[in-house]
Structure 1
């Protein structure tokens, strides 16, 4: 673009060079000297370089030399290695799908909510089956909390028809995450499609199996892993011929992300899973060019925007290289990515902050180039989201698309020295960890030996420590808490009622004439491998239930895998336990725990530490009584005693504490022996002396807030 002078005239090349000559370009060394001078002696590496959980050091400034030699920089959108996106025209030619999950267990209720949301901006359907359905059991074969809780309960074609009434799945893509195997659920869907007079060739979406993802989450599977691979191959082979728009294999990062893993771990384990599936399919005579386009990758994204953008870009880069290494053609190299906002950083307290979190996560997913996006509801960790919560989540995507116009630029992150360098760093770290898994013998073997679990536990330990000391901030939870907020009402689902209703429905369904169904199931059991798939669809169309289909398709469950699962890790929980204890105490006693600030001296002497102490205590939901300061120790002691507060915090300066603490603390302890006395600050040389006169805790910037607050609540009789 030509340079323009202040009066609007274009500058000649000679004028431009003369202008630039007047301003000398600064070097990195010159900038660093100025930056270090501004730090006033503080170490550059400590203050300006950020160490991430991915063991990547974020620089404070990125330069052209940081991206020199990166091979992917010359690639354009829609070209290998697809860092800049799978399609040349980006979201303008292939609009990003707006997806949502509906957590209704009853097919009729689920359909009502779906109809509403599709009419108000949703463009793709994410159907999450309940636990019973995902494990191939009818409602009366499962436990109460496995039916209709956190997913849709459906066992027959009739159930699926109710759930999808009025929905044309040849126009609106439908994605069903089926768990370990998709064979029975796919048979139900294809039977419904035929019942409607449609063909599978026009179906859009996916019925995807991710057995290793389910194994990592639950620790076991409803069938042997080899049987799951056999089913995966059968459905994939059928879909490649009869349902070309249907994904059949899911590869999800959610177990690793929600388990607390880093972006590098998440990406490495996802790629290892995908490679294991590729090899399993190759062993069953399917080529990489058939299998790779049937894979749909699911990623969770959370708070660090640029790390998440880099993760998604690095995923496409590495997947392209993997497919190339497997001998796949160029059309098989693009990665289809579904992004959902994470649960691990969502909070029960101050829940409306979750809207801000999901907005930034949706931004990261969009800038990162996802194919489809699912924004979680602000209250999803508290209760089943209602229409308002779903609308807020949906409108987040609509605003990013229609008001912020993020889809109008293809790969806006491309060319950023920061993001390109970070993309490369994430890719290199992930590839190294991926190779470690390969040396283990693949993802299944690594999970069996506990390798991913051990890796993630190390990161979780670091996260816990950083959250406890508030090095990592969770707004409204471990910092900037609001103790006077009114918690959301939970509105829990009546699990027993849902279970009974669904159980009765399937029992009544089976009471009808079953002769034809029994015959079709017998034909399925005796079908050869060549005719097994069609026999399953015919049995489903005839009325077989998902439990009957699953039993006929996978009767042998003697060799079920078993591993140590990855448990969902929501980082707010340790602090929420403190708040829960205080809320329960307040409800039982009618009074919230109270802390009195013994502010000493004029405002300038105590205000900084009084403000710090207030925020520190409010994290646990404690009410804080403050004041403008006391001129004498006796005055402060009398006010503290008369307040009746079980907690007193001394707020002043380290220089003044030697004159205050030895006199003030004994007065308080003498009058009220069980008072918990805290001191704001950490005067190292005086710690033992102050403890000897009665100081119970020291609160300061590096303090372990979680531990101190837990001990404090115990001291004042609040059970945690």
Structure 2
């Protein structure tokens, strides 16, 4: 019998949607609830309130009560050190190894040579039939597949018992490098037939979403590109004589998950829907799809990299409850260089905690029935399917890349995302928000990065450029650091209680660009502020205080600071009624919520003569 104390549902009165809307509008002081509606970069509207979705059953994902495979990258270029990596990982909870090969986009500038002797050394003492493997070789896919199969044979392992995704993906490599061999399909089929003859069961082909995601594709664009690439490989295999069910069974998918929990969760679920729709449309009996999820490289920051651990935790959660068959968490320092064993341990243990302590795998599709998630899943899938149809009309994935269809679509998305990042509506903790300009350097392995390998081109396209979202802020911070973090003087107005909140916000604003804020002192008169400004050594100033004091003394402060030699004078805030008067008194610009922060910081760098520094990427 249920305890009376647990009858929670009976404790609270029921509220209708109208009731909730009325309460929200009251909190908004009469403004409509629609004011809280937001849009994704894809253009999908996100309502502030969703009702429960009716008639939505959980999706078929992993087998019930089955954990996802915990995957870790093996990417040290030194085979002996790579072997140390993998043995340590396998002793501490990992049951899948992703072997990154030098020159592939997925290796992020590191990785092993695609050679038998190198791979044999890296896999020394590894029992090949007890764990799973993923190969990520880019242009060296065929060589890596042969090297791996040779190592399996030399170890005396039964190829049929080795769980390995060979990761062949010439179209994904085409998207990353802009080059595609003329005989890619024939080579792909030949390699698969050779591997099958040796007893391997595959999957042999990986449709990799990372080239699109890393270039700035939206979730729907990522899925649309994946669908189109699946069909391109399917056609190539059918042309070579494989039946549809056999061909599709050779393919798996890699999707990126990021810090937007619900978007990543919806993307994972939408991929399942799209796969089922694709099979149904083609009249093929249902086959399960294997999805490997990897935490987004594009979301990683070089600045305050420990925040990446929080981002990755959210991403891993989304992947796990979204039904990923395997998950790889890229170490939090990957944007700085080759991660250390300590960094790898953190990414490994993150999954262990979510599996063993949080037991996330025990509930199949927990998001089923959520009005928000179901709606986002459907919208993401619909936009992805529409893009897939556009790609098909253009002649398929290869032709769409050659014609620039996908490049152009992603460029438009980057324009939208760029505005969100520039205005900090999409805040990046540690980079654009809550920066620490005195943070200490983080240790990474002393290994020089390896260039991306480009295959011999029979076909060419504009390659998708991989970029991390935080790069614009990182460039400014690096330049300012090299220049000694030039200061901006804060002419705070009034008492501490008058300016502290706004001064804290303004400090974050300027330090996002590496401009150090000076003075936490309040001033009642402009002359006092000017005296300290002259003594500070700063050449620019910000007036910080409440709007009431701006109206009373703002013009006097601005005029006095200008006359004292300030190259630029800012006002923290946006006092609309007096902005024109303040500008006439000498205010050059206003720092306020949702303004173009990047543009303002670039302007300051120009005024201060801060020279850009060369890009430093792993």
TM-score, shorter chain, exceeding 0.5: yes
Deviation at 1:237, TM superposition (A): 4.0
Alpha-carbon deviations, 1:628-681, whole Å to 9, x = none? 42222222222222222222111123333244233223333333x254321112
Alpha-carbon deviations, 1:80-120, whole Å to 9, x = none? xxx33143x242xxx31111113211222211221121111
Q: CA RMSD in A?
A: 2.7
Q: Which residue of 2 aligns with 1:174?
A: 133
Deviation at 1:125, TM superposition (A): 1.1
Aligned with residue 244 of structure 2, among 288, 296, 301: 288
Cα 1:193/1:657, change in 2 over 3 Å: closer
Cα 1:367/1:183, change in 2 over 3 Å: same
Preserved contact between residue 469 and residue 702 of structure 1 (Cα < 8 Å): yes
Alpha-carbon deviations, 1:129-156, whole Å to 9, x = none? 112xx69xxxxxxxxxx9995111133x
What is the CA–CA distance in structure 2 between the aligned matches of 1:285 and 1:154, rounded to whole Å?
29
Deviation at 1:583, TM superposition (A): 1.0
Q: Which residue of 1 aligns with 2:616?
A: none
Give yes or no for the alignment of 1:61 onto 2:33: no
Q: Which moved more, 1:171-180 or 1:680-689?
A: 680-689
Preserved contact between residue 541 and residue 566 of structure 2 (Cα < 8 Å): no
Deviation at 1:238, TM superposition (A): 4.9
Question: Secondary structure, in 3 states, of the residue corresponding to 1:247?
Answer: coil
Q: Which residue of 2 aligns with 1:153?
A: 113
Cα 1:30/1:667, change in 2 over 3 Å: closer
Alpha-carbon deviations, 1:161-214, whole Å to 9, x = none? 212111122222121123257443333332332323333222211212111111
What is the CA–CA distance in structure 2 between the aligned matches of 1:648 and 1:641, rounded to whole Å?
11
What is the CA–CA distance in structure 2 between the aligned matches of 1:361 and 1:128, rounded to whole Å?
21
What is the CA–CA distance in structure 2 between the aligned matches of 1:148 and 1:463, rounded to whole Å?
23
Cα 1:29/1:665, change in 2 over 3 Å: closer
Q: Which moved more, 1:336-345 or 1:483-492?
A: 483-492
Preserved contact between residue 308 and residue 332 of structure 2 (Cα < 8 Å): yes
Deviation at 1:562, TM superposition (A): 0.6
Matches within 5 A, 1:226-245: 227-239=183-195, 242-243=198-199, 245=201
Aligned with residue 144 of structure 2, among 185, 191, 196: 185
Q: Which runs of 5+ in 2 are unaligned?
A: 613-618
Preserved contact between residue 209 and residue 225 of structure 2 (Cα < 8 Å): yes
Give yes or no for the alignment of 1:680 onto 2:572: yes
Question: Secondary structure, in 3 states, of the residue corresponding to 1:677?
Answer: strand
Question: Secondary structure, in 3 states, of the residue corresponding to 2:4?
Answer: coil
Matches within 5 A, 1:575-586: 575-586=473-484
Question: Secondary structure, in 3 states, of the residue corresponding to 2:204?
Answer: strand
Q: Which moved more, 1:654-663 or 1:305-314?
A: 654-663
Aligned with residue 44 of structure 1, among 20, 23, 33: 33
Answer with 1 or 2: which has the greater Rg. Answer: 1
Q: Which residue of 2 aligns with 1:255?
A: 211
Q: Which residue of 2 aligns with 1:419?
A: 373
Cα 1:311/1:560, change in 2 over 3 Å: same
Between Structure 1 and Structure 2, how many residues are aligned? 611
Aligned with residue 316 of structure 1, among 272, 284, 290: 272
What is the CA–CA distance in structure 2 between the aligned matches of 1:358 and 1:267, rounded to whole Å?
21
What is the CA–CA distance in structure 2 between the aligned matches of 1:594 and 1:350, rounded to whole Å?
21
Question: Secondary structure, in 3 states, of the residue corresponding to 2:406?
Answer: helix
Give yes or no for the alignment of 1:32 onto 2:21: yes
Matches within 5 A, 1:351-370: 351-370=305-324
Q: Which runs of 5+ in 1 are unaligned?
A: 11-15, 77-82, 136-145, 500-546, 548-553, 587-591
Question: Secondary structure, in 3 states, of the residue corresponding to 1:296?
Answer: strand
Give yes or no for the alignment of 1:488 onto 2:442: yes
Aligned with residue 85 of structure 1, among 39, 47, 61: 61
Q: Which residue of 2 aligns with 1:602?
A: 495
What is the CA–CA distance in structure 2 between the aligned matches of 1:161 and 1:688, rounded to whole Å?
72
Matches within 5 A, 1:624-663: 624-663=517-556
Deviation at 1:483, TM superposition (A): 1.5
Q: Which residue of 2 aligns with 1:519?
A: none
Q: Which moved more, 1:108-117 or 1:245-254?
A: 108-117
Cα 1:626/1:408, change in 2 over 3 Å: same
State the TM-score, normalized to the length of structure 2.
0.92
